[in-house]
A and B are shown apart, each in its own frame.
Chain A
């Protein structure tokens, strides 16, 4: 589905140049949910923006479904780090969700129907006529997810999507993502700095080194398919893996482990 090879991205030129990510290689299979975890500033957002075709890498390449990514590819949706700023305050919640459909779906009524369906899928039926700024942070984040899902993307990129909501809401949103991925034919790449989250939602956890980000480890998550916030997090396998990820994230060592 997604092949990232030796991806490097530097900002600035000459002596002031700063490498955000360096020689990152990873591959994601169709239908997988891969967590990318790493300390703040290690280049997670940069990696995601390169994959989304929003910025060009300075080295290496991204191939999505066999096609090299140069510009924003079709069938992609993103939920960026700051949901409050990614929703448009001049549009109602429904129109926000319907907006990306303007590229793909003809007819205002059809788009409204699709938007309402997408809102219902994230348990937000009935708030379509409100404005985003009239909703709580957790609800706004669900709107951003509904909008990303409305165009039925093949690949969903999420950048620290639950960064600024309370713990309870965060767990609900994690379960929402797990449900979406069960119900749809979708591949998800989720960036987070929360170690528990990376293990809880992921099929695989990719750990990045502190900047410049490289792949420190690529660990499979061997946990039962159906996950539960309390039961799963008490499983010995969960505890072992989260401890290992935690150790890798904290260590100063930047060599790749396998």
Chain B
């Protein structure tokens, strides 16, 4: 428990400092450095393949993988798989947030309930979603419902723990002042605790998003196409047939790009919604 909480607690500061830095004039630098690192790595991999340091059957050439990735982008079936993964991610994340945030508020505001549920939570949390794939597929049958369930099971923890950490972090003076104006405790949770905890919650959601993509792909990979389309199912199919490493790596490449794109989407939304938080850190820290 404390582990997740610490990560969550530290992360809002970390991400936001990077975010504010990106808005200053020198913003291009970290990006350029990151991109240069990727390019150098890919060039090295390409050179290693061409020089025979790494056998081409073990690792296809970078150029071949990238060429295949470009082809995949025009492949209707693959795009349907990509779309299905995004859909499962969106459904899973919607439920994760809709359930995780209120639950976190409840547990955060009522320490009694938190203590009472600790044992069951500590039992459930370490069970990896992947271990539940078979059970859930037997219970729910294949399809989006199953993917979403597994995503929620794996992704809800960072949202839950970060919400609780955010509630714990609310300034008691802020709450007391609010109550002194005659507001009810519920009003105080809604008007003070929730906005105050928002940066923590946002970090939890971004952590959850990464987990959600991994889980959707893993589920698809384990069940194969029976569970409907998805990047995982696509990779499973490719590896069971010809075992064409190039196409598997090309699909993996798109999976990575997808993860990056969804994270950028969430970061952008977070920066827009929590502008006060980012500007404030930019000015004081």
Would you call B277 and A90 a contact (CB within 8 A)? yes
Give bound CA distance, A82 to B171, whole Å: 11
Residue B276 contacts which of A78, A89, A103 (CB distance < 8 angstroms)? A89
Interface residues on A, range: 20 to 34
Interface size on B, residues (CB 8 A): 23
With most chain B CB atoms within 10 A of its CB, the pick from A49, A52, A73, A100 is A100
Give bound CA distance, A89 to B278, whole Å: 11
The verdict on A86 contacting B181 (CB below 8 Å), with A131-B276, A133-B284 known, is no
Interface flag for B195 (CB, 8 Å): yes
B182 contact set on A, CB distance < 8 A: 72-74, 76, 100, 103
0/1 interface trace, chain A 120-139, chain B, CB 8 Å (1 if under): 00000000000101100000
Give bound CA distance, A43 to B163, whole Å: 34
Give bound CA distance, A124 to B284, whole Å: 23
Residue of A nearest to B276 (CB): A90
CB distance from A127 to the nearest CB of B (A): 15
Interface flag for A241 (CB, 8 Å): no
Interface flag for A88 (CB, 8 Å): yes
**Residues of A78-107 whose CB lies within 8 A of B:** 78, 80-82, 85-86, 88-91, 99-100, 102-103
Would you call B283 and A133 a contact (CB within 8 A)? yes
Would you call B280 and A131 a contact (CB within 8 A)? yes
- Main SS of chain B's interface residues? helix
0/1 interface trace, chain A 190-227, chain B, CB 8 Å (1 if under): 00000000000000000000000000000000000000
B181 contact set on A, CB distance < 8 A: 72, 77, 99-100, 103, 151
Interface flag for B179 (CB, 8 Å): yes
Interface flag for B173 (CB, 8 Å): yes
B174 contact set on A, CB distance < 8 A: 85-86, 88
Would you call B180 and A54 a contact (CB within 8 A)? yes
A76 contact set on B, CB distance < 8 A: 180, 182
Give bound CA distance, A86 to B181, whole Å: 12
Would you call A90 and B196 a contact (CB within 8 A)? yes
Give bound CA distance, A52 to B180, whole Å: 7
Interface flag for B15 (CB, 8 Å): no
Interface flag for B169 (CB, 8 Å): no
0/1 interface trace, chain B 246-285, chain A, CB 8 Å (1 if under): 0000000000000000000000000000101101100110
Give bound CA distance, A134 to B195, whole Å: 19
**Residues of A40-91 whose CB lies within 8 A of B:** 49, 52, 54, 72-74, 76-78, 80-82, 85-86, 88-91
Chain A: residues with CB nearer than 8 A to chain B? Answer: 49, 52, 54, 72-74, 76-78, 80-82, 85-86, 88-91, 99-100, 102-103, 131, 133-134, 151
Some 6 contacts from A to B, beta carbons below 8 A apart, are A72-B179, A81-B173, A86-B174, A88-B196, A90-B198, A100-B182
Kindly list the 8 A-B residue pairs having the minimum CB-CB distance in the complex, ordered from nearest.
A100-B181, A85-B173, A86-B177, A78-B180, A90-B195, A90-B276, A85-B171, A82-B173
